Amino acid sequence: MEIKYKRANGSQKSAVWSLPCKVSLGMFSSEWLVSVEIPDARSIQTFVNKSSVIAQNEPTSDTKVDGRVRVSLVEVDPKTKSVLVDLPESTRVRVPVSLVQQQ
């Protein structure tokens, strides 16, 4: 599997990528808690600025919503069909290529 993208200047770094996540309220009004489920049964949770999340609805104190968290693409490993990404707020994780989507 290959990640394909196009930007006018051809720069990979200017592309915006995202991962699916569950979104809940954060500790402060400017942040949300995102949970990214990795197929190997891991769950990554981190607090991020609201501007780093794409969600149709806002979470409430008792409801999580589906969303996508913006990530930075670090490297693609074609052998393992995985991608190393940086989540906002300095969390780096390797995920299957199938989870990453260009926005």
Q: pLDDT tens for residues 32-62?
A: 999 999 988 789 999 999 999 999 999 999 9
pLDDT of 26 higher than 80: yes
d(CA 41, CA 73): 22
Per-residue CA distances from 33 to 19, 36, 44, 61 (Å) = 14, 10, 10, 12
pLDDT of the residue at 3: 52
Domain ranges of the chain: 17-102
Please report which helix (H) or strand (E) contains residue 9, including its range.
none
Which percentage of the chain shows pLDDT scores above 90?
75
Q: Around 80, how many Cα atoms within 13 Å sit in the side-chain half-sphere? A: 9
pTM: 0.82
Mean pLDDT calculated for residue range 54-75:
95
Indicate the residue type of 15: A
Question: Which among 4-13, 46-55, 82-91 has the top mean pLDDT?
Answer: 46-55
